[in-house]
Amino acid sequence: MAEAQLFVSQDEFTCSVCLDTLTDPVTILCGHSFCLKCLTSYWDQSQECSCPQCRHTFTTRPELNRNTLLNEVIKKFKKTTLSPAPSQNYAGPGDVECDFCTGKKFRAVKSCLTCPASYCQTHLQPHYEGAALKHHKLVAPDRNLN
């Protein structure tokens, strides 16, 4: 069977407590996910059990079970980010950098004249999927958008 490509950023797998990639991820009833240790520690230091992200409170402390599906996705994500696809190279001298990458920036593959911003393959994806962004004018990477 062919493997589907999914464009995600590391931010989607970040624990909002430690701000690092989720380790032993647990998902609580409001739908937010955290590292097991981070959430346990957060609740141990608090008077009430609430979501660190949305502040939803729980009358009793929920039982925490590892989200095995999310854990597997994170493992695969870590493997793919260690060896980026050839089209997802880091920007070098003379390349246009992605305006949305944090840390080491990837090379932009398109610039949007409407936004005005430049995007790597990952950060460009919403322009192909989002109804409001589909009509934006995409061009070859250009550092002179202002």
For residue range 67-103, what is the model confidence (pLDDT) as tens digits? 999 989 888 877 766 544 444 588 888 889 998 888 8
Say if CB 22 and CB 36 are below 8 A apart: no
Q: Could you list the residue range(s) of the whole structural domain that residue 62 is in?
A: 10-82
Shared domain check, 75 and 24? yes
pLDDT of residue 5: 55
Burial of residue 36, with CB atoms counted within 10 A of its CB: 0-12 exposed, 13-18 middle, 19 or more buried: middle
Q: Which residues pair with 130 in a beta bridge?
A: none
The predicted pLDDT at position 118 comes to 92
CA 71 – CA 27 distance, rounded (Å): 11
Is residue 4 in some structural domain?
Answer: no
Does residue 74 share a domain with residue 15?
A: yes
Question: What letter would DSSP give residue 13?
Answer: G
- Report how far residue 98's alpha carbon sits from residue 108's, in angstroms, rounded to the nearest whole number: 5
20-73 pLDDT, tens per residue? 889 999 999 999 999 999 999 999 998 889 999 899 999 999 999 999 999 898
State residue 87's pLDDT score. 45
**CA–CA dist 144, 120 (Å, integer):** 16
pTM comes to: 0.51
| pLDDT for residue 67 | 92
Number of domains in the chain: 2
Are 24 and 67 in contact by the 8 Å Cβ rule? The answer is: no
Q: What is the pLDDT of residues 122-141, one digit of tens each?
A: 888 888 888 888 889 999 99
